[in-house]
């Protein structure tokens, strides 16, 4: 493909809606990263992590975040995102964890297609999935998310998390970073068509979060599942309602998509196996922490006696498992006191 250099397109990505042209393959990744960063804010450092898109079907692409927790080493790039190219524009699902990564993702999309980004669907408002919205909003995309995001935006959590990220992920999250709210809030299920491609949105929360939203590309059988499924790694549970999450996974297992793009980890070509791994992990947490609560053990006693060998070899175990177990222990206490189990 011919046209403007990729760096020039990336510079335009964060500041205007343009008709981008495909990039020469010889242009260096460093130049593209620097241009993408400049499109966000002058003080933002260049993105140097590799987020080149992988093609899943003829029209569906995705980028895979690095393993492990958000860190300076991975520049906040630990989650997945994807996009669907149609004859009338691009639909994006999730936009990564910093404004700089969002601009870099937009530049990569423009390296694949001249079509403008029409819509961004956000799986949930955890910072590693939506902080890249600034570049897409400035490029004219419409932002869709679940109606429960209103509750998150009305709380103190967005301001507190942004302040923390400005410290922990500087200089990729800087003073110019801001929270971008949705343009449209989705309740229940919704569908739309763009360029002859049919999309269906499913509300899956409360599960990983209250506002979990998934997107199915019907013709391709590709489901963007957000953090409902963690392929090949230990999930991040946080303060999730794991009982509702398990119910959502049972419902998801009945859809049998051809591919699943998960929130973290590789894209799943065996949805049943990856759903089972996430489901089995959540069930085990509830089983072991529930028994400990019934026996009036402390959390430290419960954690020490639990056999974690089935999951300890998985990526992110060291980063996530103890916190997951503790939050599940507290959840099982609340369920016991409320009579919910």
% of the chain surpassing 70 pLDDT? 87
Structural contact between residues 219 and 230, judged by C-beta atoms closer than 8 angstroms? no
What does the mean pLDDT of the chain come to? 86
In a domain, 170, yes or no: yes
Domain count, the chain: 1
The pLDDT score that the predictor gives to residue 42 is 59
Q: In 10 A of CB 89, how many CB atoms?
A: 16
- Which range is most confident: 92-96, 186-190, 230-234? 92-96
Who wins on pLDDT, 235 or 107?
107
Range of the domain at 183: 6-48+57-338
Distances (CA, A) of 143 to 91, 139, 218, 261: 10, 11, 20, 19
Four-residue CA torsion sign, 41, 43, 46, 49: negative
Residue that has been written with the tokens 């869709």 in this structure: 144
The answer to whether residue 1 is domain-embedded is no
Taking CA atoms, 197 is separated from 111, 191, 219, in Å, by 21, 11, 7
Task: Judge whether residue 305 has pLDDT over 90.
Answer: yes
State how far the Cα of 88 lies from the Cα of 308, in Å rounded to an integer: 49
Looking at residue 341, its pLDDT comes to: 67
Q: How confident is the model at residue 14 (pLDDT cuts 50, 70, 90)?
A: very low
Confidence band, pLDDT 50/70/90 cuts, at residue 39: low
Q: How many CB atoms lie within 10 A of CB 166?
A: 16
* Residue 289 within any structural domain of the chain: yes
248-272 pLDDT tens trace:
888 877 777 889 999 988 888 888 8
Task: With cut-offs at 50, 70 and 90, classify the pLDDT of residue 38.
Answer: very low
Task: Assign residue 313 the CATH number of its domain.
Answer: 3.60.15.10
* Selected residue with higher pLDDT from 272 and 19: 272
Q: Where are the beta strands (DSSP E) in 21-148?
A: 54-55, 60-63, 81-86, 89-93, 117-121, 142-146
Assess if residue 172 is contained within a domain.
Answer: yes
Looking at residue 173, its pLDDT comes to 96
What is the predicted pLDDT for the residue at 233? 84
**pLDDT given at position 201:** 95
**pLDDT category of residue 26 using cuts at 50, 70 and 90:** very low
Q: Which position has the token pair 């959502």?
A: 248
* Average pLDDT for 117-124: 98
- The confidence score (pLDDT) of residue 8 equals 38
Mean pLDDT, residues 152-179 taken together:
96
Q: Is the pLDDT assigned to residue 9 strictly greater than 60?
A: no
Whether the model clears a pTM of 0.85, i.e. scores above it, the answer is no
């Amino acid at each position: 493909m011919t046209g403007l250099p990729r760096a020039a397109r990336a510079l335009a990505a964060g500041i205007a809606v343009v008709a981008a042209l495909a990039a020469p393959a010889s242009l260096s990744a460093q130049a593209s990263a620097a241009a993408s960063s400049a499109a966000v804010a002058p003080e933002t450092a260049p993105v140097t992590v590799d987020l080149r898109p992988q093609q899943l079907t003829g029209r569906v692409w995705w980028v895979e975040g690095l393993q492990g927790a958000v860190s300076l080493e991975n520049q906040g790039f630990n989650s997945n995102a994807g996009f669907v190219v149609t004859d009338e524009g691009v639909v994006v699902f999730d936009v990564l964890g910093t404004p700089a990564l969002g601009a870099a993702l937009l530049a990569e999309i423009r390296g694949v297609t001249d079509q403008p980004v029409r819509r961004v669907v956000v799986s949930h408002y955890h910072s590693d999935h939506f902080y890249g919205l600034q570049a897409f909003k400035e490029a004219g995309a419409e932002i869709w998310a679940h109606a429960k995001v209103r509750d998150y935006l009305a709380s103190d959590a967005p301001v507190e998390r942004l302040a923390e990220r400005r410290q922990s992920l500087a200089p990729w999250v800087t003073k110019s970073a801001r929270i971008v709210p949705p343009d449209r809030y989705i309740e229940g299920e919704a569908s739309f068509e763009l360029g002859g491609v049919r999309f269906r949105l499913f509300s899956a929360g409360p599960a990983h979060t209250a506002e979990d939203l998934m997107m199915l590309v019907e013709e391709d059988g590709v489901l963007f599942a957000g953090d409902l499924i963690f392929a090949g790694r230990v999930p991040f549970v946080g303060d999730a309602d794991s009982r509702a999450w398990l119910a959502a996974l049972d419902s998801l297992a009945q859809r049998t998509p051809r591919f699943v793009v998960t929130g973290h980890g590789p894209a799943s070509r065996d949805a049943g196996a990856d759903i089972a791994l996430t489901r089995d992990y959540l069930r085990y947490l509830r089983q072991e922490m529930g028994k400990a609560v019934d026996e009036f053990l402390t959390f430290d006693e419960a954690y020490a006696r639990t056999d974690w060998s089935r999951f300890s070899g998985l990526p992110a175990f060291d980063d996530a498992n103890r916190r997951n177990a503790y939050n599940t222990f507290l959840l099982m206490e609340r369920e016991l006191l409320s009579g919910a189990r």
